[in-house]
Amino acid sequence: MPKSEPVINPFETAKRQVDIVADIIGLDEATREELKHPKREISVYFPVRMDNNSYRVFTGYRVQYNMARGPCKGGIRYHPQVTLDEVRALAAWMTWKCAVVGIPYGGAKGGVICDPKHMSKGELERLTRRYTSEISFMLGPEIDIPAPDVYTDSQTMAWIMDTYSMGKGYSVPGVVTGKPISLGGSEGRAEATGRGCAYVVREAAKDIGLRVKGGTVAVQGFGNAGSVTANILHDEQGAKIVAVSDSRGGIYKADGLNPHEVEEHKTKTGSVVGFPGAKDISNEEVLEMKADILIPAALENQITSKNADKIQARLIGEAANGPTVPEADKVLFEKKITVLPDILANAGGVTVSYFEWAQDIQGYFWPLAEVNERLEQVMVRSYADVHKVATERKVHNRTAAYVLAIQRVVDAIRIRGIYP
C-alpha cells in the first residue's frame, strides 16, 4: 500500500459493499442491518510459555458472521497486525464467498496477534493449542470449521484438530480443513485457491477476447495462492509470468520468469528479491506495470483510489481477500478493466475445504483428478452465474457477485424466519 494512503478499516469496506448491493436489490432496513453485523464474536487473551520459559499473553479472535446457510467456515491467520475489524471483514467476505459458489456454509474468520517469523515451532504449537482451547466451545463439524490462512498451514490445522479431539475423547477430523492427507485432508487442497483463480481467469479471458497463452501476468504476493496461480497459468495455460513480489519487494523479467525456479529461490533466500537475471522492483510497480493479467495475492487494500488509475492490466484476478477498495472499483470499471472479485476468484480454497469436510464426514476420499474436476465445475459455473448477473444488470463483477451472494443469504434468512 502506498505510504501516503490512509489506513482503511476493512470492516467499513465490507459494510459499504453490503450497502451498495442492498440499494440495488431493494433490501429492507432490518435485513440490511443484520447483514452488517456478525452473529457472534469472541476476543480471548491467553498466556503461552515461550522457549526461554517466560510467558507472553497473546490476543486472539474468532468471528462467526452468518449461519443462515449452514455451519461457519473460515481460516485462522497469525499476523502482528491482526485486528478485530479485519477479522470481522474477512468473516463477512467468507459468508458471501461461500454463497457465491453455492456451498452450504456461513462465514467465519479467526486471528491471533503474533509474529510467526520470530517464533519457534514449539512456541507456535503451544500458542495454537491454547488458542484452540479458548475458542473450542465455538468449533465443531456442525458449527464452525477453521482452515489455514496467512502464516498458518496444515501443521497448524493438525494441532487444532488434535487439541479439539482430546477434549472430545475421540478423533474429529471434520473440525478443520486444510489438514495433512494422513489426518483426513483432501488431495488438491493446498493448491485449490490458486487453481480456482486460474480457472476463472481462463473463463473471463475468453469473454473479453484475451489470449492467456502467451499473455503476460504480474503477481503481487508470491505465497501459496499467488505462486500456485502463477504455476498453473504458466504450466497449463501457457501464460508468461513477467513479475512477482512478496513482502520484501518484487522482481521483473520481460521475457518471462519460471515460477518454479522463483519458488526455489524464495525457499533458499526467504524472498523472491535478488532472483538471478531479474530486475528488482517494488510492490507498487508490480501492481502498476503493463501486463495483460494482474493477480493481487497479498493483503487487503492494495488497489485504492490513489493508484487505480495507474493499473494497466486488462484482467485482474483477486487471489487475495479484499485487495481492492470500493472507490477503486469504480475507476477500474470506467477503464474497462475486468475484475474477478475475491469472493469468486479465490473461492477455490473454500470449495475444496468443503470437499474435504464432506469426505471426512463420509469417511470416503476422492482421488486428485476427481477433486480438481469437481473444483473446475464449481468455478466455471460460478463465474458464469456472476457474469450473467453483471451483464443483465450492467454492473461490474464485484457488484454482480455480491448481488448473487447476498440474495442467496437473504433468501435463507427469510425462509428460516426469526426465532423465537
Which positions are annotated as active-site residues?
109
Write a three-state SS string for 196-255.
HHHHHHHHHHHHHCCCCCCCEEEEECCCHHHHHHHHHHHHCCCCEEEEEEECCEEEEEEE
| Burial class of 45 by CB neighbour count within 10 A (0 to 12, 13 to 18, 19+) | exposed
Write the CA distances from 156 to 60, 62, 126, 243, 277, integer angstroms: 15, 16, 11, 30, 36
CB 231 within 8 A of CB 259: yes
Q: Which of 21, 47, 23, 101 is nearest to 69 (CA)?
A: 101
Phi, psi of 128 (to 5 degrees): -60, -45
Residue 133: alpha-carbon gap to chain centroid: 25
The DSSP line for 301-370 is: S-B-TTTGGG---SEEE--SSS-B-HHHHHHHHHTT-EEE-HHHHTTHHHHHHHHHHHHHHHT----HHH
Cβ–Cβ < 8 Å for 98, 23: no
Q: What is the DSSP letter of 7?
A: P
Q: Count the Cβ atoms, other than its own, within 10 Å of residue 126.
A: 18
What angle in degrees, to the nearest 10, is found between the helix axes of 348-362 and 368-393?
130
DSSP string, 137-199: GG-BTTTEEEEE-TT--HHHHHHHHHHHHHHHTS--GGG-SS--GGGTPPTTTTTHHHHHHHH
